[in-house]
Amino acid sequence: MKNELPMTDISPAEGLSPRAATFRLGRALDTGLRWLTEGSAALLVVVEVVLLFCNVFSRYVLNQPIVWGDELASLLFLWLAMLGSVVAMRRGEHMRLTSFIARLPVEKRAFVDTLGAVIVITFIGLLFTPAWEYVSDEWIITTAALEIPNAFRVSAIAVGLSLMLMTCVARLLTSARLIDFSVSVAMLASLGGLLWVAEGPLLLMGNWNLVIFFMIGVMAMIIIGVPIMVAFGLATVAYLSTMTGTPLSLVVGRMDEGMASLILLAIPLFVFLGALIEAMGMARAMINFLCSLIGHVRGGLSYVLIGAIYLISGISGSKAADMAAIAPALFPEMKKRGEDENELVAMLNASGAMSETIPPSLVLITIGSVTGVSISALFTGGFMPAVVGAIAMAAVIWWKNRKGEASTGKRASGKEIVRSLLVAVPALALPFVIRTAVVEGVATATEVAAIGVAYTFIVGLLCYRCFDWRRLYPILVSTASLSGAILIIIGSATAMAWALTQSGFSHQLAQVMSTVPGGALGFLIISAVAFILLGSFLEGIPAIVLFGPLLFPIAKAMGIHDVHYAMVAIFAMGLGLFAPPFGVGFYAACAIAKVDPSGAMRRVWPYLGALVVALGVLIAVPWISIGFLPTK
């Protein structure tokens, strides 16, 4: 939260007041951090795309794989993740829950913002020395192909934490009042002292103390708007420091482990790809084709909205990118036909929930990375659950429009349909290229993302010719920011899951969940309810990173297919993510459409109710998720 300085703070006779000097120092620090991090992160996105495309070209075309290519990509990837996290911190784009603090009066909200910044500084401060110790420990380890110390890679974590610390200091200098800062420091110091004094009683509680650290503590921080990655990380650090003698450098090591998987490099590449298809005009071409087919029927553009989300979700992998690509293309025409803007947002929001399983969803990639489930199988299994959700939504649209006036849209002629199809063919081919390459094993999810970016650039520049090159740099920076926000959550959640495992909680959870009534079906229903709740507060990726390694082995032991369980979990988390009043996806849809959430909230429930029915069908009929998987 930035506060502009009043002009009275600066006196020509007396020079700068202390408040003005502090503000200017903070602004100068913030500006320096922006130029240092945004340009570097944008450059790393470009380098990763080029490097991976060269890897694919050398392997499949020249038949001469670049032996050091993956190792260099992995090294640069961690730097991209951490610099992206810094950019997200500076731009206020880390994933966090704002539903509660948004209702506070301005003065109280300013205090909560300051408290949140102090909490972030506390977390980074506790890990600052362990992070550099981890770099020192990794100095003696040499990489296999490049033959350089691994410290060059892991130093990204220490540097990233240092830059995030500077970012938080700059924010406090520019916006925090001294009284708010003092009270926040006193509150955290008191809480730390209380934990130190209560160490003995907490130890006597056994694993019930996990409720204090990982339920009460995490939820309290999330409610006041602390970034989710900090809520996870600080709860983990507090637990390990109070209850165990574990060196905190192990927390840094677990964060590194969580972000080190090269498959996660698909996340920034697909985010970049999602932004490109909108900027290149490919999304509009696909939407125009769908409009020519069914735009004239009663409620036709509503069906187009569902179809467009389905198609574009197969390319971008990012729900925010999907909605941002579709809303500007469809909403103006839908409003001309008399559609209520609140109804439009309700449909857009529910469509985002419906399409969570469509490959190459970032949640699918993450779930494969943390649980070991085949990403190819997840991509194959993700189509039909979304079809069931789309049918359920279409039924609601039909019911709402069955007695309405006929559409005012003009029926397209055969020539117009053919013309729009020919224009859309290059764009429509991209989802099939991506899915076929991954499912058939031609390329990994990471490699196919680089192929998709190259394809989009070539087709967009040659066929659609509407790309404004001035948009490229902001797209690259936004890609780095969103990717960093996602990846550092994965790192923090990995450390938290490790701490829970070390406590014995995972074994206790397995025992409890294996005794639920109803056997496998009961376990699926309870899991669905749990993931809806988790999705409301944590979003899909942090929830699956935290609980996937704990619950998937239990599901497998109960005879539930990995892919079936993954689809139930992802669909349920999508419902939570887009369900008001807590789901942040709902507010993202309202922000994209520029609509007041209070009006849209009343209209969204029939669509979400239909998706709950679809989830029940998905639970009861495993074939929907696994029917198209190759038989072993």
3-class DSSP assignment, residue 575: helix
- 603-630 mean pLDDT: 92
* Sole residue written with tokens 């490699």: 447
* Lowest mean pLDDT segment, chosen from 5-9, 395-399, 449-453, 595-599: 5-9
Q: Using alpha carbons only, give the angle 121, 124, 126 rounded to the nearest 5 degrees.
A: 105
pLDDT reported for residue 19: 66
The number of beta carbons lying within 10 Å of the beta carbon of residue 16 is 15
Q: How confident is the model at residue 372 (pLDDT cuts 50, 70, 90)?
A: confident
Q: What are the tens digits of pLDDT across the range 245-291?
A: 888 889 999 899 888 877 778 778 877 887 888 788 887 888 788 87
* Sole residue written with tokens 């190759």: 630
Average pLDDT, the chain: 83
pLDDT reported for residue 158: 94
- 81-109 mean pLDDT: 85
Q: Which residue has the higher pLDDT, 63 or 194?
A: 194
Q: Using alpha carbons only, give the angle 507, 511, 514 rounded to the nearest 5 degrees.
A: 130
Q: Which residues does residue 11 pair with via DSSP β-bridges, in sequence order?
A: 15
Q: Which of 130-139, 206-215, 267-276 is most confident?
A: 130-139
* Sole residue written with tokens 């590194």: 256
Q: How confident is the model at residue 4 (pLDDT cuts 50, 70, 90)?
A: very low
Q: What are the tens digits of pLDDT across the range 524-561?
A: 999 898 888 877 766 667 677 777 877 888 888 888 99
* Lowest mean pLDDT segment, chosen from 225-229, 244-248, 299-303, 553-557: 299-303
In this model, does residue 14 exceed pLDDT 50?
no
Express as a percent the part of the chain with pLDDT over 90.
24
Q: What are the tens digits of pLDDT across the range 433-466?
A: 777 776 666 677 677 778 888 888 898 888 888 8
Q: How confident is the model at residue 328 (pLDDT cuts 50, 70, 90)?
A: low
Distance, in Å, from the CA atom of 317 to the CA atom of 267, rounded to the nearest integer, reads 8
pLDDT reported for residue 427: 86
Instruction: Domain ranges for the chain, please list them.
Output: 14-260, 264-626
* Lowest mean pLDDT segment, chosen from 60-74, 326-340, 480-494, 563-577: 326-340
Note whether 431 and 310 are within 8 A (CB). Answer: no
* Sole residue written with tokens 């637990």: 239
Amino acid at 485: A
Nearest 5°: phi and psi at 554? -65, -45
Distance, in Å, from the CA atom of 199 to the CA atom of 88, rounded to the nearest integer, reads 35
Q: Which residues does residue 10 pair with via DSSP β-bridges, in sequence order?
A: 16
Torsion of CA 553, 558, 560, 561, to 10 degrees: 50
Q: How confident is the model at residue 589 (pLDDT cuts 50, 70, 90)?
A: confident
Q: Which residue has the higher pLDDT, 230 or 320?
A: 230
pLDDT reported for residue 13: 39
Which has the closest alpha carbon to 485: 166, 162, 82? 82
In this model, does residue 405 exceed pLDDT 70?
no
Sign of the torsion formed by the C-alpha atoms of 386, 392, 395 and 397: negative
CA-to-CA separations, 392 to 297, 354, 611, in angstroms, rounded:
18, 9, 6
* Lowest mean pLDDT segment, chosen from 44-48, 71-75, 93-97: 93-97
* Sole residue written with tokens 């209380």: 194
Note whether 617 and 624 are within 8 A (CB). Answer: yes
Q: What is the DSSP string of 272-333?
A: HHHHHHHHTTHHHHHHHHHHHHHTTSTTHHHHHHHHHHHHHHHHH--HHHHHHHHHHHHHHH
Distance, in Å, from the CA atom of 491 to the CA atom of 232, rounded to the nearest integer, reads 10
Distance, in Å, from the CA atom of 209 to the CA atom of 239, rounded to the nearest integer, reads 9
pLDDT reported for residue 1: 35
Distance, in Å, from the CA atom of 393 to the CA atom of 384, rounded to the nearest integer, reads 14
